[in-house]
Structure 1
Amino acid sequence: MIFSFLFCFFIRSASGAANFECPINPITAESGPIGVIPSNRVGLSVIPAKYDCAYHFLIYPGWALHFSISTHYDQLLGDNITFTDNLGVVRLLPTPNQHIDEWSSAPTAILHIRTLSNTSQMFAIYEFVNVEKKYQQVIIPTGEYLALENMKNRYFTFSSKANDRVALNIAVKNTQDYDTLLEFMFVYDGGDVRNCQMVGRLSNFLRNKKISTSSNVTILNFYDGKSPSYLIANDWSSEKPLLFKSREIRAFAEVSVFSKYKAILTSKNQQTTGELFDASDQGAAYTWICSDCNNFYWTVLKFHKSTTTVPKAYIELRSLSPTHNTSTLLNYSVSATLDRNFPQLIPSRMFTMINHYSGIAVTLDTSTSQAMTQRWLRPYDGRRGTIFSPSIWDPKTPPTFSFQFEDDNQKFMFGVNVKEVRIAAAGESLTIKTGPTASDNFSYKEFVSDSTDFWTRRESKGNFMQIAYDGLDRRSMAIVSFDMKQINSGTRDDPLYTIFVSI
């Protein structure tokens, strides 16, 4: 970058006395896109004693001002140099330093130099930057997230299709950590950088406001720092009722209805544990995001007696984020046999857990190891669970799945409920096999049309259960629940039982 090259060149030049003439009029881009202070020097320069000058900069809409400053002064002598951005935030520049960057958006910025001594030195280069020309805009719909690690030469606008206000939440890999790099990202309250005002640094926006005044909010990183955090945006306003499985459950399309809302970030081959609490009917919502995987294994759910209202407590899981307004896919309440539901596979990059009237401990694993896969596929006495087409959790993924639960040393009564199946294209099929491994093949076919919800149940004794859905069309899907009960080794095996659903 030319700006960085110039600074490195200037800072190596000889220091000495300089002409620190204080300008009368504001400095604008019309006087030149790049300038230096002092105007006649190209390196650290001695500032005169009893010098007091505020350099005012007028920044046009859609532009920004970039300062690179080097200083060497003694605050104990009463000398200081400050930078005031467009929001009026005053920053005392650290010293000594070789290179500090400061940015300001429109409309104004001030560099103020005050000295009592004649020993202080400084040198600064400033550049007016046309943001719309240098940075490319990327539009992201609410309900989705942004990885903050790569924002170079781009700025990002979250936009609500529902024309709702936009709520921002940060997700860090360790929820106890604070991401200092958020200090260097600018928030514009609107859909672009020309017609909308910069309203604060992202760190302050998340801490004090979190919500836009319009249906758009824009994020820009002038400093190019690679933050490891993710930023998720949701619609803000009130709830929308939804009727699901003959029970009225509120479909939370926006985050304002929750008692609290947080986002949790993880990555593959990580185990995340949490202690979550909520005492309200609205529930506390937590959106879990995996940065580089599409599977969560939920391995632990425990209700704490001291913080759980047993008759009312329940946990629900929904796909994606609240803005997607999805129905409940998994629901758990206090039970003596709760542990038998785990591990439970959640085939998605993102989902939302809502906690009602309870204090809970949870553990989720994103391991891609063979050991984790084997744990998911291992039968045990009393186990139950649900298998979903991944497309139910995330429409961007295919509906296909195939799992085989097997134990060569134990026999089980396998129960299977086909809760829902939708076949939208010729050649697609749902196949369920339960029985002993070495058995004569027996086939059962049931033909269905576009959509079926028939709660078909089949049972068979044996040591394996295979559930596979071969779906090609994104409109296709299947939901199958299962249960297992260990039986005596002397019990006679049933022949292989197969359900084959296709068109």
Structure 2
Amino acid sequence: MFWFKYKYVSVQGLENVKLPSGTPVALNLTSSKTYTFTSAKNDSLVLNSGSAIYPLDPYTKQVFVYDGPDTNSPYLGTVLSFELDQALRNKSSGSTLTLLNVYNETSYSYAMVNDYSDILKYTSYSFFAFSQKYPFDNALNALSGPINGVTFFCVDCQEAYISSLNLLHYPEKDSSIQLQPLTPAQNQPVYLTYSSKDFSNQSLPQLIPGNLFTLSTDANYFAIRLESNDLVRNAWKKPFYGKKGTIFSPSLWTPGANSSFDQRFESSQSVKFTFNVPSLVINQKGEELRVQIGSSGANSFNTVFNETLSNPGTRVANGTYLEATFSGTSSKSSTIVTFEMKDPNESTITTTIKSTTDFSPRGFDSIIIVLPLFFAFFG
């Protein structure tokens, strides 16, 4: 003998919320509404989900998935069943998917619904969420095929840091990962590439001034740690010999965001700073990129760029700090600055300055010969 209790709940006539594909959406859904994802390309849709707390969020078993524009459409299963059974992760039959959280339970997961054509290039595709309290620190292995994709989303931060990375390929060969802003739907440029052939942890931590980005790789194993907290933020700003990195305008990783920044790296000992500007886009009059290298109590070496340019040449100077400041006021403006930090007692380096927007402390465009512990300028 057995018995059960049930409650009938009508899901007809609920308010419907329209959502675009290609953007993460919190699955903390209200039971009085349905949520429909629609492809702007009239394409089929694929659902992924990720939690910043649980490897598998048990509350997503109460979020129902329907293959169509409403709850009259065929029932496909729950969000949790999609995560547990890869075979269920098929594309929708049409251009819409509808979600319903009938139990009104709190979920800490996020859904990522992509157009099928945007992820078709990947052998496998995953979505992961992380937060300031719960970093992403995991390995993805047994990857196959020429390229695999992963989208990462920080749920409560506006910037993330790569603090560790390991990538391998069997049989042994060179492999790489590439990172680009947003999701596969936006098809953004690749801004960071790491190759197993020449990768060094001296390139880490690396700041990504955005909270949504996609990684592509041909490696069949990689491990990565992504985090956003004061500890890694301070590590990013701490110079050491061999350190390499790239400074980006936030507008490159989050369209519409501010393009300005002020990044300062300061050491207690002298460092040989090397930098270049792969890209600078000036969209408003008065915007400028200024890179300053100096030491407390001494004249600093200032380089100012106020015109759109790319790769004007490498600059080298010794000091205890490097500060890069971009005064961009337009979200359409942007810059990328690469840097490297070395022991100043290494051999002398000679660099030719070509740009007319470069100003030394004496106001000369010149050949700079950098000697340990001081600057020498020759007109």
When normalised by structure 1's length, the TM-score is: 0.64
Q: How many angstroms does 1:193 deviate by?
A: 4.4
- For the residues of structure 2 that align with 1:278 and 1:325, how far apart are their CA atoms? 26
Deviations 1:78-126 (A, max 9, x none): xx5xxxxxxxxxxxx4xxx6xx44xxxxxxxxxxxxxxxxxxxxxxxx4
Q: Which residue of 1 aligns with 2:265?
A: 405
> Are residues 1:332 and 2:191 paired?
no
Which of 212, 219, 226 is residue 106 of structure 2 equivalent to?
A: 226
My pick for the range that moved more, 423-432 or 335-344, is 335-344
Q: What residue is the counterpart of 1:432 in the other structure?
A: 291
Q: Is the 8 A contact 2:167 2:176 kept in 1?
A: no
Aligned partners of 1:418 and 1:313: how far apart in 2? Answer: 26
Identical columns (%): 28
Alpha-carbon deviations, 1:271-315, whole Å to 9, x = none? 3211123554532222111111112111111234xx445433111
Deviation string for 1:32-66 (max 9, x for gaps)?
A: xxxxxxxxxxxxxxxxxxxxxxxxxxxxxxxxxxx
Which is greater in Rg? 1
Paired residue type of 1:257: K
State the 1:174 CA deviation: 5.0
Show CA shifts across 1:367-417 (max 9, x none). 1x2x33221101111111111111111114221211100102x21111111
Structure 1: unaligned runs, 5 residues or longer: 1-73, 81-92, 102-125, 238-253, 497-503
Is 1:361 matched with 2:223? yes
Aligned alpha-carbon RMSD (Å): 2.5
Q: Cα offset for 1:169?
A: 0.3
Task: Give the structure 2 partner of residue 464 of structure 1.
Answer: 321
The answer for unaligned runs of 5 or more in structure 2 is 347-370
- In structure 2, the partner of 1:375 is 235
Cα 1:494–1:269 change in 2 (3 A) is farther
Task: Please report how far the alpha carbon of residue 168 of structure 1 lies from its aligned counterpart in structure 2 after TM superposition.
Answer: 0.4
2:168 is the alignment partner of 1:168: no
Report 1 or 2 for greater relative contact order, CA contacts < 8 Å, sequence distance ≥ 6: 2
- Aligned pairs, number: 350
Moved more, 263-272 or 384-393: 263-272
Paired letter, 2:295: P
Structure 2 partner of 1:131: 13
Question: Is the Cα contact below 8 Å between 2:60 and 2:78 reproduced in 1?
Answer: yes
Shift of 1:219: 0.9
Question: 1-side partners of 2:332 and 2:191: how far apart?
Answer: 17
Cα deviation, residue 150, structure 1 = 3.8
Does the alignment pair 1:211 with 2:91?
yes
Match of 2:26 in 1: 147
Please say if 1:190 is aligned against 2:68: yes
1:197: how far off? 4.0
User: Equivalent residue of 1:212, what SS?
Assistant: coil
Contact 1:190 1:197 in 2 (8 A): yes
**SS of equivalent residue, structure 1 residue 298:** strand
Offset at residue 465 of structure 1 (A): 0.3
- Please state how far the C-alpha of 1:138 moved relative to its aligned partner: 2.2
Match in the other structure for 1:200: 77
Would you say 1:492 and 2:373 are equivalent positions? yes
Taking a change above 3 Å as real, the CA distance of residues 214 and 432 of structure 1, as seen in their structure-2 partners, is same
Would you say the 8 A contact 2:174–2:197 is kept in 1?
no
Work out the CA distance in 1 between the residues paired with 2:239 and 2:300: 22
Q: 1:314 to 1:473 in 2, by over 3 A?
A: same
Map 1:232-381 → 2, pairs under 5 A:
232-237=112-117, 254-277=118-141, 280=144, 282-304=146-168, 307-335=169-197, 338-367=200-229, 369=230, 371-381=231-241
CA distance in 2, matches of 1:405, 1:277: 35
Structure 1 residues 359 and 378 mapped into 2: Cα distance closer, same or farther (>3 Å)? same
Q: Distance in 2 between matches of 1:130 and 1:255?
A: 33
Q: Which amino acid in 2 is paired with 1:494?
A: F
